[in-house]
Amino acid sequence: MARILMTGAAGGIGTSLRKLLPPIYPDLLLSDIKQPADLGAGEKFKAADLADLAAVEAICEGVDGILHFGGYSVEGSWDQIHQANIIGCYNLFEAARKQGVKRVIFASSNHAVGFYPRHHRIGTDVTPRPDSRYGVSKVFGEALGALYADKHGLKVTCLRIGNFGEAPLDHRRLSIWLKPEDLVQLCRIGLEHPDIHFEVFYGASYNERSWWDNHRAYDFGYRPTGRGEDFREHAMAEQAKLLPDPVGDFYQGGTFCSMEFDGDKSGIIDWKK
């Protein structure tokens, strides 16, 4: 890969990967709607609003692969999600096609399948059950990725990211934690593996409590180094500080499921920890 573009460079994931990726991809181009305040002298940056197709085409020029971490990263109003994650995502894939980009890594989310119960172990081929408008936008992005892979030959990898960070922060995140270095490994598979066409992987480290069957990632050589259970005591101590949330504690999506929830609770079990 001669040049890699990473959108969302000012976000939490982007900020972390800015430190980890340059030794692997020296010609790394960063982008976000605004320049990161801590941009280093050796970092290359081009600002772009994802909702502006012409601006997105400009940052994709001369690019071989894209790490698409840009967009609205939490639940928001429909207008916020629509502009950044629906229009913005379409613009990214369309600009990539027009500019001859070879590969795209799309940052999907566990919230695309958040309404599966925690006791239900799922693979990557399940019917989407988004838990939020944000989750809906990630289902859209995965579908768009499949379209551009099948119709236009773009090699696309969608990563249903769990909880990215240095350590899992509570009981739920012991099951979905993703160590930064493990995310880098998944990105490298998507950018470099010769057999990628269209794939969906779960963005999770080796978590013994996982609700996800991530064998497709392992088939492509994924070998995570992070282990959620190493942080069990800290995570459970933090969990004890949280208020009970019967809906969020039942479903995989956590509080994304319980916010604005006014559905039927009759099938929900209030699990005691």
Burial grade of 187 (CB within 10 A; 0-12, 13-18, 19 or more):
buried
Given this model, what pLDDT does residue 269 score? 81
Of 197, 196, 194, 229, the residue nearest 210 (C-alpha): 229
Q: Please tell me the CATH code under which domain 4-258 is placed.
A: 3.40.50.720
CB 52 within 8 A of CB 91: yes
Given this model, what pLDDT does residue 271 score? 60
CB 239 within 8 A of CB 219: no
Amino acid at 9: A
- Assessment of whether the complete model's pTM goes beyond 0.85: yes
Q: Could you give the CA distance from residue 16 to residue 13 in angstroms, rounded to a whole number? A: 5
Q: Could you give the CA distance from residue 144 to residue 150 in angstroms, rounded to a whole number? A: 10
Mark out the alpha helices in the chain (DSSP H runs). Answer: 12-20, 53-60, 78-81, 88-98, 133-152, 173-176, 180-192, 215-219, 232-239, 246-250, 255-258
Given this model, what pLDDT does residue 272 score? 52
Given this model, what pLDDT does residue 273 score? 46
Residues acting as catalytic residues:
134
Amino acid at 140: F
DSSP state of 33: S
* CA-to-CA dists, residue 229 to 167, 169, 175, 191, 206, angstroms: 10, 12, 9, 29, 9
**Is the Cα torsion angle 25, 28, 34, 36 positive or negative in sign?**
positive
Run means of pLDDT, 10 residues per run, the chain, 273 residues: 92 96 97 94 96 98 98 95 97 98 98 97 98 98 98 98 96 97 98 98 97 98 98 96 94 97 89 53
Question: Do the strands 4-7 and 28-32 form a parallel or antiparallel pair, or are they unpaired?
Answer: parallel
DSSP 125-147: TSPP--SSHHHHHHHHHHHHHHH
In sequence order, the β-bridge partners of residue 7 are: 68
Contacts within 8 Å (CB) and 24+ apart, 119-124: 120/211, 121/210, 121/211, 121/212, 121/213, 122/211, 122/212, 122/213, 123/212, 123/213, 123/215, 123/216, 124/160, 124/200, 124/201, 124/202, 124/212, 124/213, 124/214, 124/216
